[in-house]
Amino acid sequence: MKIHNKTGSFLLACSLALLAGCGSDGTSTSLTDNLIGTASAATLDTASNTSTTTDTAVVTTIPTVTTPTLAAQPLTVAETETLLFVREEEKLARDVYLTLYNQWGTNIFQNIANNGEQQHMDAIKVWVDAFGYVDPVSSNEIGAFTDPVILKLYNDLVARGMTSSQEALMVGGFIEEYDIKDLQDAIDEAKQGTNQAAVIQTYDSLLCGSRNHLRSFVGQIEKDGLVYQAQYVSQATVDAIVNSPDEKCGQ
């Protein structure tokens, strides 16, 4: 079934509006407390850097997100599996960060979890609902996952992050590198598959947010006098990201 331009644009507006504010570790009001307005009314003015306390994300309007009826070409089996994996992968990031915040009280974890990863989760859910898939996030409880791979990774990363506050920041860097690799793979897969521009643009906005999150973690690590080395992607990729300015994602 060929995607209808109006519905496709609405889906994209919903998912991208959820991503406005996924800069670095900006502090803003909870997304779920601000679901007002319409999909075309979302605007954002973001001022971001690598500190854990001074970044801001001023949201003037956040749209109501409703699940539209399915009006897009079905994804391939591989694309479907990737979409559902990314949905839980974003929850993994949120849950690890909230757990490490509770352990160490380092603001960067709470800020990125609430103002970044939750929005990433919500943006992917727009597509999960639109395609009529069963949401793999059957529980919002921290540490609850459907995919055994993600569950094991969650447990391993939390255990690592509990060893020290510095190691916790390294876990944050690893997660963002992991997301960057998977999201780029998702984009490449989608382009070679059904090539749906709106889905690809959602992934691209998540990828942008992950780059900003990596910049924030590396900035905090280096502020503490440590040297950050790549953990999952190439050092050249990490260097290219952290040596470039924060991006305004989904705008």
Quick one: pLDDT band at residue 160, thresholds 50, 70, 90? very high
104 to each of 51, 218, 248, how far by Cα in Å?
16, 17, 29
Q: What is the pTM of this model?
A: 0.77
Could you tell me the residue ranges of all domains in the chain?
A: 77-242
Which tokens is 237 given? Answer: 């990729």
State which amino acid sits at residue 34.
N
pLDDT tens by residue, 213-240 = 999 999 999 999 999 999 999 999 999 9
Q: Is residue 39 within 8 Å of residue 48, measured between CB atoms?
A: no
Q: What is the mean pLDDT of residues 5-34?
A: 43
Range 77-242: architecture per CATH: Up-down Bundle (1.20)
Using the CB atoms, write b or e for 85-99: b if 16+ within 10 Å. Answer: bbbbbbbbbbbbbbb
Q: Over 70: is that where the pLDDT of 27 sits? A: no
Measured at the CA of 134, the angle between CA 31 and CA 180, to 5 degrees, comes to 60
When the pLDDT of each residue in the chain is averaged and rounded to a whole number, the result is 79
Q: Over 70: is that where the pLDDT of 18 sits? A: no
Would you list the DSSP string of 71-118?
Answer: -SPPPPHHHHHHHHHHHHHHHHHHHHHHHHHHHH--HHHHHHIIIIIH
Total number of residues shown for the chain: 251
